[in-house]
Structure formats: structure tokens, C-alpha cells
Amino acid sequence: MLIRINIMAIIPITVYGDKILRQKAQSVKAVSDELIGKIRNMFDTMRNAKGIGLAANQVGFRESLFLVDLQGIEGYEKFKPLVLINPEIILHSDEVSVMEEGCLSLPSIRVDVERAEKIKVRFINTDEKEEEIEADDLLARVILHEYDHLIGKMIPDRVAEDVKKQLSKELSNIMNREIEIDYPITKG
């Protein structure tokens, strides 16, 4: 008899102040079994934290890849979870939109961020095939947010100076782990 055991692997999420969140991701050379295992653990971690996107450096990995899963959002129930490896944003619309964003690495913070309304992204999938996706609205936003993580950027880098100033107390609370959250984060 074959017994398959699925072990959930939840990895502590890196938070604002952790150095890896400021480092550029490294291009993936091959989609190895080890990488597939990491991706599976990232999905477990993202779902446990009820996130809709997760970049590799948010769980301490250096690879250039992120996940997007909008299934839990109204209107996106049929969304097929995406794994974008070595993504490149190849087109941005001039048209922008403003939407409130949060980030698993910035617990408790929600802030309006302006981003391109439409994008085109090129990446490789887990079968090592190149794909291109045109996205708008929430999907474009999540992709741009996650892509930012891979170049070491986060929400506070995308808002005006005065808005960033208003966030400074919350940011230092996060860095000092003076926050209550219901998913594991790094110890700092």
C-alpha cells in the first residue's frame, strides 16, 4: 500500500528591515526538483498567511521567482495560481491606478500605491517554458508588487516622502517585532 504523506511546510516570512528584502534576486538557471520543493513550501507559506502573492526573498530564498494566487478574491474564483520564474516586465501602460496595498512583510500596514494599470510580463514557468501574460487591474498590481520584491523594493519606496514619514512608527515597530500577527515571521 502506498501512503502519501503531505507535510505542510510553513517558512517564517521575512519582514521590513531584513536585509534579503533589499537584495536583488538571482536568475534561476534550471527548474530543479529542489526548486519545485521550495515553490511548494512557498505556496504553503503564502496560503497559511492568507497572502495573494509571495516573492522568494520573503521566505529567505534568493531565486528570482514569485507566486500569485487570486483564487480567494471575489471575481477570481477560477484563477489558476501562477509561478513566475525570472520575470521581466516588458510593457507598462502610461495609464496608472491607485489601490490600497498590503504586504506580508509589512504586517499591519495598508497604504495607497500608484502603479501602471496594465502590464505585460515575460517569465518561465515550472516546465521551463517561456510565457507572456498581459495583465490589468488587480493581477497587474500584484505582479508589479511582487516584481518589486525581486529588485529589492517595497511599498514604502513607492509612496511620497510624507506618506513614508507617516509610516515610520509602524515600520520601526515591525523591525522591532512589536506587532501581533497570526503567521510566523523571522526573529530578526
Q: Which residues carry out catalysis?
A: 146
Minimum distance, C-beta of residue 50 to Zn ion, in the bound complex (Å): 13
Minimum distance, C-beta of residue 107 to Zn ion, in the bound complex (Å): 11
Contact 153, 55 (CB under 8 A): no
Of the pair 35, 54, the CB lying nearest Zn ion is at 54
Contact 67, 46 (CB under 8 A): yes
Characterize the bridge pairing of strands 111-116 and 96-101: antiparallel
Cα separation, 70 vs 78, whole angstroms: 9
Q: How far is CA 3 from CA 7, 9, 172, in A?
A: 12, 18, 47
Minimum distance, C-beta of residue 102 to Zn ion, in the bound complex (Å): 8
Q: Does 185 bind Zn ion (CB under 5 A)?
A: no
Q: Which stretch binds Zn ion (CB under 5 A): 16-24, 39-47, 95-103, 172-180?
A: 95-103
Q: How many CB atoms lie within 10 A of CB 36?
A: 12
Contact 56, 66 (CB under 8 A): yes
Q: Rule CB under 5 A: choose which of 11, 68, 70, 103 binds Zn ion.
A: 103
Site residues, Zn ion (CB under 5 A) = 103
